[in-house]
Structure 1
Amino acid sequence: MLSRSLAISFVFAIFSTTAYAENTGSVLAISTDNDLFAPTQTDRDYTAGVSITYSSNSDGFSNNVFSRATGNIDQRLLGGFFQLPLKPVSTALEFGAYGFTPEKIEAKTIDRDDRPYSSLVYISSSRSYQQPGSGAGWTTSLTVGALGLDVFKSGQNTIHKAIGSERAEGWGHQISEGGEPTLRYSAAYHQYLNASQPDRKFKVTYFGSVGYLTEFGAALVFRDGLISSPDNRFNPELMAYGERAPSVSTPGGREDYFWGGMSVKARAYNALLQGQFRDSDHELGANDLNILLAEVWAGYTHSFWAGTELSYVLRVQSSEIRSGKGNRTLAWGGLVLSKRLGAS
């Protein structure tokens, strides 16, 4: 019921703002991740995700209820300390789901030596700000959702049946089985470096979040090639597994570029491994997890016709778990198809 309410709210917010779609800053994107898209071809850890994102620089869209809620938090938490602008240069809404499995998915019993099953269904609102007269900006996001629903379980097993893969049998032991509300607020400060040129962009980002993922860190990001989308709407360093709302670029003209980066972060809490307030059949403790994590990524973006772009990214992250079978590097690939609305 909660996942249906989130979906209805997302659709209502999008359709209530379709009058602004002719603004060339409006973009609709469909994203999918899968560890099978990586060279390792595994089916474990962060196994898959799917999302749909709508972003726009129109004033009408930035006034939707989700964006206003995020803006109120931004001003309370950041405005007084960092002179955050009152008006964002762009906003985005995203609805999606993603999930995690241990290595052996055919067993119905719990493998205490591996990671637990877990999943998240969410809706996320993000806002991008530009600091006047400086080469710096902010990106914030507020995500609300539910852990432990059967949405991802059903989707994964339907796909596995269609392609003849093994059924994942352990979802009855997932984190917060049956559903538990959750949320996360994140903020990031971007410093666009002087070394940047029209065909080569560099930035450093300092970021942090509190909620089901509580962490802070820093990242170095670059793009190289034919670039037309604005820097403030290209934030691959802010992806949290399948969540991309602050990270969908806006195709303006022709684009053809490579991109990549690296980040280091200290993570204090991960509800997808540790659980939340409800007891779960299988969850890990803080002492079972690594605090310091490193991530690297590389991608390629190419535009086709009428403001349409396709991007591919490969991401590799150091192990989240200290020991046992779960102590392994995570790798997954992602595809993003985006369309600038109003383009022809």
Structure 2
Amino acid sequence: MTFTPEDLSDPNPIFNDRHYASIWYLSTKRIAIEEGDDRDTVSGSKFLFGVLGTKLSETFQTEFHQAYRSVSNTDEPVDPLGWDHQISDGSEPTLRYRLSFGQSLLKEKHFDLAYASDLSEGYQTNASLGAQIRFGKIDSGF
């Protein structure tokens, strides 16, 4: 994933816009679904190993912009000039582990109600809880 501010021509940090940032990662995910007569349950886990702040995104974005300008014979898009200020510039290993769980609360032929919860720890730490209502032809709870 790569993030850049809107103005790529400014070599200085732009504090009221998104900062330059990149993460390249590999992940593995496991999901288990248990369908029951009254309730369906889903649980999952995901492990991610990545590297923040590499030069890969800068190189890819710059070369893509140069190739596009060459083919289209235009001055746009400009080369990004602020990559020296990216978050974790110079590469930093990072991890993230995520657990999720969901269960149907009410399960009918054309209607269901379910809740979901999620916990993450690592480069992004959060907890969430949500609900879902569906109407129509429902083949599976998840």
TM class, shorter-length: 0.7 to 0.9
Higher relative contact order (CA 8 A, sep 6+): 2
C-alpha offsets along residues 145-178 of structure 1, whole Å, 9 cap, x if unaligned?
Answer: 1000122222223333343422211111111112
Q: Which residue of 2 aligns with 1:117?
A: 20
Q: Size of the alignment, in residue pairs?
A: 133
Bigger-Rg structure (1/2): 2
Q: 2:83 maps to which residue? A: 171
The CA RMSD measured in Å over matched residues stands at 2.7
Higher strand share: 2
Letter of the aligned partner of 1:141 in structure 2? K
Q: Structure 1 residue 132: deviation in Å?
A: 7.1
Q: 1:201 to 1:103 in 2, by over 3 A?
A: farther
Q: Does 1:137 align with 2:137?
A: no
**TM-score normalised by structure 2 residue count:** 0.76
- Flag structure 1 segments of 5+ consecutive residues without an equivalent: 1-97, 233-344
* 1:208 corresponds to: 119
1:128 equivalent among 8, 23, 31: 31
* Matched-pair contact (CA < 8 Å) for 2:40–2:141: no
Aligned counterpart, 1:155: 60
> 1:1-344 alignment to 2 at 5 Å?
98-131=1-34, 133=36, 134-164=39-69, 165-195=77-107, 197=109, 203-221=114-132, 232=142
Residue 52 of structure 2 aligns with an amino acid whose one-letter code is L
* Greater percentage in helix: 1
Q: Deviations over 1:18-74 (max 9, x none)?
A: xxxxxxxxxxxxxxxxxxxxxxxxxxxxxxxxxxxxxxxxxxxxxxxxxxxxxxxxx
Amino acid at match of 1:111: I
User: Please, what TM-score do these two structures have when normalized by structure 1?
Assistant: 0.34
Per the alignment, residue 72 of structure 2 pairs with none
Moved over 6 A (4+): 222-228
Question: Aligned equivalents of 2:65 and 2:108: distance in 1?
Answer: 45
| SS of residue matched to 1:213 | coil
Letter in 2 for 1:137: V
